[in-house]
Amino acid sequence: MTPSDYPPRSLLYVPGSNARALEKAQGLAADLLIIDLEDAVPADRKIEARAAMRNAVEAGYPGKRVAVRVNATGSWEQEADIAALYGLAIDAVVLPKVDAVADLEPVRGLGVPILAMIETPVAIYAARDIAADQAVTGLIAGLNDLAHELKLPDGMDRSAMSHAIQAIVLAARAAGVWAFDGVYNAIDDAAGFAAEAAEGRRLGFDGKSLIHPSQVDPCNAAFAPSEREIAAAEALIAAATGGAQRHDGRMIEDMHVAAARALLERAKK
């Protein structure tokens, strides 16, 4: 799983300690399943979660990309998490609380792409170097932790984190890697989720991390080209003759044609 592949739209966290969730995930349309050994697992169930994760991955999720979120560098749980991953065929490891390139070191030996979570003010300033590391295939915005670190009175107010959010996208794009939006906590607020997912796409994210199966389908819809976008892309390509020209009331050039072709390729996935 590298940036040359099509990025996942929906990244669903599945608690490693929840056997029913691990089984149910097989039938979900999430583009990437992230089996979680970190925040979703109580401290007294970490050993159980590692064993369940191994069993689930070994049993397989045919046709699905699978990642595992380990505990953060510096935590005493991380070494056991990494040991539990050796020999498993996974597509990526998700590393939380990456504040510096040095935090990537413990998971390099796994030889799989790293999705680095940017969750603190320190990480925002280091995001460019983190994204540029050869082992990193994408950045995930950890906005819950970031809101806490910023001491925001309302963690759901994304406008208060607009600079940080855009910094994550900019760092990812500068390095040529993926960028994924953070989770939406209100799992019963379908309208709110849809609005935030649409905003995430407008901000340039490739997809969004999710905490509940009900968010998968609306997330896939939000990050997939709409029928209107597909029709507009087809019309632009048909009209293009090379160089700068007027089309549908605006000026287009070769980069717009390339973007339209990429959108149509994405629509096939």
Q: Do β-strands 92-95 and 136-141 pair in parallel, antiparallel, or remain unpaired? A: unpaired
pLDDT one-digit tens code per residue, 132-185: 999 999 999 999 999 999 999 876 789 999 999 999 999 999 999 999 999 999
More reliable by pLDDT, 114 or 253: 114
Q: Is residue 3 part of a domain?
A: no
Give the pLDDT score at 119: 97
DSSP string covering 151-204: T-S-TT-GGGGHHHHHHHHHHHHHHT-EEEE-----TT-HHHHHHHHHHHHHTT
Which residues is 245 bridged to in the sheet?
Answer: 252
Q: What's the rounded Cα separation, in Å, for the pair 49 and 18?
A: 8
Which CATH number is 69's domain given? 3.20.20.60
Is 231 a residue whose pLDDT tops 80? no
Whether the Cβ atoms of residue 118 and residue 139 lie closer than 8 Å to each other: yes
Query: What does the pLDDT average to over 123-129?
Result: 98
The angle at the Cα of 183, spanning 181 to 186, to the nearest 5 degrees, equals 140
Q: Is residue 99 part of a domain?
A: yes
Is there a single domain that holds both residue 184 and residue 237? no
DSSP-based three-state secondary structure for 5: coil
C-alpha 130, offset from chain centre:
15
Is 37 a residue whose pLDDT tops 80? yes
Is there a single domain that holds both residue 98 and residue 209? yes
| Reported pTM | 0.88
Q: Is residue 88 part of a domain?
A: yes
Give the pLDDT score at 160: 93
Number of separate domains in the chain: 2
Give the pLDDT score at 241: 81
Query: What does the pLDDT average to over 62-90?
Result: 96
Least Cα distance to 66 among 58, 78, 74 occurs for 58
For the chain, report the end-to-end CA distance as a whole number of angstroms.
Answer: 15
Is there a single domain that holds both residue 249 and residue 148? no
pLDDT band at 244 (very low <50, low <70, confident <90, very high): confident
Is there a single domain that holds both residue 130 and residue 246? no
More reliable by pLDDT, 246 or 223: 223
Is there a single domain that holds both residue 25 and residue 96? yes
Is there a single domain that holds both residue 211 and residue 235? no
Q: Where are the beta strands (DSSP E) in the chain?
A: 10-15, 32-36, 65-69, 92-95, 114-118, 136-141, 178-181, 207-210, 245-247, 250-252
Is there a single domain that holds both residue 125 and residue 236? no
Give the pLDDT score at 81: 97
Give the pLDDT score at 102: 98
Give the pLDDT score at 237: 79
Q: Is residue 1 part of a domain?
A: no
Is 269 a residue whose pLDDT tops 90? no
pLDDT one-digit tens code per residue, 193-215: 999 999 999 999 999 999 999 99
Is there a single domain that holds both residue 212 and residue 246? no
Task: Map 228-251 to HEC letters.
Answer: HHHHHHHHHHHHCCCCCEEECCEE
Is there a single domain that holds both residue 238 and residue 128? no
Is there a single domain that holds both residue 218 and residue 237? no
Q: Is residue 90 part of a domain?
A: yes
Whether the Cβ atoms of residue 32 and residue 17 lie closer than 8 Å to each other: no
Is there a single domain that holds both residue 85 and residue 205? yes
Q: Is residue 2 part of a domain?
A: no
Q: Tell me which residue range forms the domain holding 213.
A: 10-222
Q: Is residue 249 part of a domain?
A: yes
Q: Is residue 4 part of a domain?
A: no
Is there a single domain that holds both residue 231 and residue 218? no
